């Protein structure tokens, strides 16, 4: 069993928002992702998708996008990005997955997911350039920091339960936004997270990517256009 990650798929099978308007490298990118996915992922593997899965505004528009993901190999874990507008509540997302029999997909939101290899925690995060309302930004960041702590508290309990059995299992955090603003990075260090993956950055934003080991945590950027539309093995 292996764990992979890829983010910012920005699928639009049920809407009319082709990504190649952002550059020729996005042309037929869905086929590029599927080709690599089929090559490296097995049915028992886990694929983490940290946000911006679909351009859909509603669940109805999102059906074909989630069908694309569900039909590929592996067990998928996804969390909300800033463009996943259909995502209202976790309960509604789970009902959507169940109603459409998308049984290879789980949503990560205010909890932690235990896999064979890792304990997966995370939250969307936020970026200070998302709007011009600094007070609103502060509220959103505080809320996201709280959600990250909730997720990590649950993950830490799972980790300690394993330790009681003589098993060491690392915590990996998935965020949509880079974790390098406000207190997100401090929180990751406080909880002794092993690895943090993130996406969100495109185009010129790739110049702001930080990767590698920083204060004992490995940071990995997994945005699909950054990785050449290939999954990253964690």
Domain annotation for the chain: domains and CATH numbers:
3-233 (3.60.21)
99-115: average pLDDT:
98
- Residue pointed to by tokens 């290879």: 104
Between CA 198 and CA 51 the distance in angstroms is: 9
pTM for the structure as a whole = 0.96
54-74: average pLDDT:
97
Tell me the average pLDDT of the chain: 95
Nearest to 48 by CA among 9, 12, 87: 9
Residue 219: both structure tokens together: 């940071």
Asked if 66 and 59 count as a contact pair (C-beta separation under 8 A), the reply is no
For residue 129, the model assigns a pLDDT of 64
């Amino acid at each position: 069993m292996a764990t992979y990650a890829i983010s910012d798929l920005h699928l639009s099978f049920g809407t009319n928002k082709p990504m190649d308007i952002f550059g020729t490298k996005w042309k037929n990118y869905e086929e590029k992702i599927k080709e690599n996915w089929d090559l490296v992922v097995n049915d028992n593997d886990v694929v983490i998708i940290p946000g911006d899965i679909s351009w859909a505004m509603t669940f109805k528009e999102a059906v074909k996008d989630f069908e694309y993901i569900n039909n590929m190999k592996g067990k998928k874990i996804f969390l909300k990005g800033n463009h996943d507008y259909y995502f209202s509540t976790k309960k509604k997302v789970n009902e959507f997955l169940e109603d459409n029999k998308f049984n290879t997909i789980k949503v990560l939101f205010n909890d932690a997911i235990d896999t064979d290899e890792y304990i997966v925690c995370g939250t969307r995060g936020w970026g200070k350039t998302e709007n011009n309302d600094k007070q609103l930004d502060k509220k959103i960041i505080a809320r996201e920091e709280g959600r990250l702590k909730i997720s990590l508290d649950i993950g830490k309990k799972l980790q300690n339960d394993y330790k009681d059995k003589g098993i060491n299992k690392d915590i990996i955090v998935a965020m949509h936004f880079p974790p390098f603003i406000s207190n997100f990075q401090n929180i990751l260090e406080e909880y002794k997270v092993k690895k943090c993956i993130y996406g969100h950055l495109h185009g010129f934003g790739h110049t702001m990517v930080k990767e590698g080991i920083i204060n004992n945590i490995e940071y990995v950027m997994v945005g699909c256009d950054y990785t050449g539309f290939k999954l990253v093995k964690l």
